Amino acid sequence: PRDAHFITSRICGICGDNHATCSVYAQNMAYGVAPPHLGEWIINLGEAAEYMFDHNIFQENLVGVDYCERMVAETNPGVLELAERTEAPHAADHGYRTIADIMR
């Protein structure tokens, strides 16, 4: 059980801290251990920092390329053609007429 948070933190490769923290919470519940109130604050601050770091990596490096016009044109031209024909929801609010316009 002591190694659970080490193992779970390496499963994903991106958000290891979140998996490790959940694993530690599960161990605490299993053993009936409650961290002190200040310990919870420290955990939450660490999780908030990790959240900001992880989501930037995920959005910019892993998901963002899927919505980049140039990348989609090279890898899935049919998807780009569909995006050019698909009207963007709430176009009056943001000014982009089609999904392809958003991708540019």
Q: pLDDT value at position 85?
A: 97
> Domain residue spans in the chain?
4-63, 68-103
- The pTM assigned to this predicted structure is 0.61
Q: pLDDT value at position 42?
A: 95
What digits encode the pLDDT tens for the residues 21-80? 999 999 999 999 999 999 999 999 999 999 898 888 888 888 888 888 999 999 999 999
CA distance 10 to 38: 27
Token match 């031209």: residue? 77
Cβ–Cβ < 8 Å for 28, 35: yes
Structure tokens at 44: 């939450």
Q: pLDDT value at position 14?
A: 81
Residue-level length of the chain:
104
Segment 13-17 shows an average pLDDT of 82
Judged by DSSP in three states, 79 sits in helix
